[in-house]
Amino acid sequence: MTYSDGMPVLEARLPTGRYDMIIETGVLERAGELVRQVAPHEQALLVVDSAVVNTAGVVVGAALESAGYRAVTVPLDASERFKTIDTVERVYGVMLEARLERGSPVIALGGGLVGDVAGFVAATYLRGVPVIQVPTTLLAMVDASIGGKTGVNHALPHGGLGKNLIGAFWQPRRIIADPVTLRTLSERDLRCGLAECVKHGVIADPSLLQFIAGSAEAIAARDEAVLAELIARSAQIKITIIEQDEREDANRALLNLGHTFAHAIEPIETLDLRHGEAVAIGLCAAMHCAVSTGSMSSGDAETVTSLLQRLGLPTRLPSSVAAAPLVARMRYDKKVRDGQLRLVLPCGIGTAKIVETDEPVIVDALHGIGAAP
Ligand SMILES: NC(=O)c1ccc[n+]([C@@H]2O[C@H](COP(=O)([O-])OP(=O)(O)OC[C@H]3O[C@@H](n4cnc5c(N)ncnc54)[C@H](O)[C@@H]3O)[C@@H](O)[C@H]2O)c1
Whether 196 is a known active-site residue: answer yes
pLDDT above 70 covers what percent of the chain? 99
Strand, helix or coil for residue 292 = helix
**Atom from ligand 1 closest to the CA of residue 143:** 5
Atom 21, ligand 1: which residue's CA is nearest?
Answer: 111
Whether 367 is a known active-site residue: answer no
Strand, helix or coil for residue 100 = coil
State whether the beta carbon of 110 lies less than 6 angstroms from ligand 1. Answer: yes
Q: How far is the CA of 152 from the centre of ligand 1 (A)?
A: 13
Whether 102 is a known active-site residue: answer no
Whether 54 is a known active-site residue: answer no
* pLDDT, the chain, mean: 95
**C-alpha separations of 154 from 84, 143, 274 in Å:** 6, 22, 19
**What's the rounded Cα separation, in Å, for the pair 350 and 285?**
17
Q: How confident is the model at residue 157 (pLDDT cuts 50, 70, 90)?
A: confident
Whether 337 is a known active-site residue: answer no
Whether 252 is a known active-site residue: answer yes
CA 151, 44, 243 angle in degrees (round to 5)? 45
The answer to whether the beta carbons of residues 45 and 38 sit under 8 Å apart is no
Whether 263 is a known active-site residue: answer yes
Residue 274, judged by CB atoms within 10 A of its CB (0-12, 13-18, 19+), counts as: middle
Q: How confident is the model at residue 5 (pLDDT cuts 50, 70, 90)?
A: low
* pLDDT tens track for 287-321: 999 999 999 999 999 999 999 999 999 999 999 99
Q: How far is the CA of 275 from the centre of ligand 1 (A)?
A: 10
Q: How confident is the model at residue 161 (pLDDT cuts 50, 70, 90)?
A: confident
* pLDDT tens track for 50-101: 999 999 999 999 999 999 999 999 999 999 999 999 999 999 999 999 999 9
**What's the rounded Cα separation, in Å, for the pair 4 and 21?**
12
What pLDDT shows up at residue 61?
98
Whether 127 is a known active-site residue: answer yes
Strand, helix or coil for residue 73 = strand
User: Of the residues 196, 229, 266, 277, which is catalytic?
Assistant: 196
State whether the beta carbon of 178 lies less than 6 angstroms from ligand 1. Answer: no
Residue type present at position 40 = P
pLDDT score of 160 more than 80? no
**Atom from ligand 1 closest to the CA of residue 116:** 1
User: Of the residues 24, 41, 83, 149, which is catalytic?
Assistant: 149
**What's the rounded Cα separation, in Å, for the pair 295 and 334?**
23
For every residue of 311-337, DSSP letters joined together read: TT------TTSBHHHHHHHHTT-TT-B
**What's the rounded Cα separation, in Å, for the pair 125 and 95?**
9
Give the residue from 174, 185, 258, 259 showing the smallest Cα distance to 227: 185
Which spans in the chain are helix H?
A: 31-38, 56-66, 85-97, 112-124, 138-139, 187-204, 206-220, 224-244, 259-265, 275-292, 298-310, 323-330, 359-368
- How much is the pTM? 0.96
Q: How far is the CA of 351 from the centre of ligand 1 (A)?
A: 27
Q: How far is the CA of 220 from the centre of ligand 1 (A)?
A: 18
State whether the beta carbon of 212 lies less than 6 angstroms from ligand 1. Answer: no
Lowest mean pLDDT among 6-20, 181-195, 252-266: 6-20
State whether the beta carbon of 52 lies less than 6 angstroms from ligand 1. Answer: yes
Q: How far is the CA of 78 from the centre of ligand 1 (A)?
A: 7
Atom 4, ligand 1: which residue's CA is nearest?
Answer: 144
Q: How far is the CA of 313 from the centre of ligand 1 (A)?
A: 17
**What's the rounded Cα separation, in Å, for the pair 118 and 100?**
14
Bigger pLDDT: 157 or 145? Answer: 145
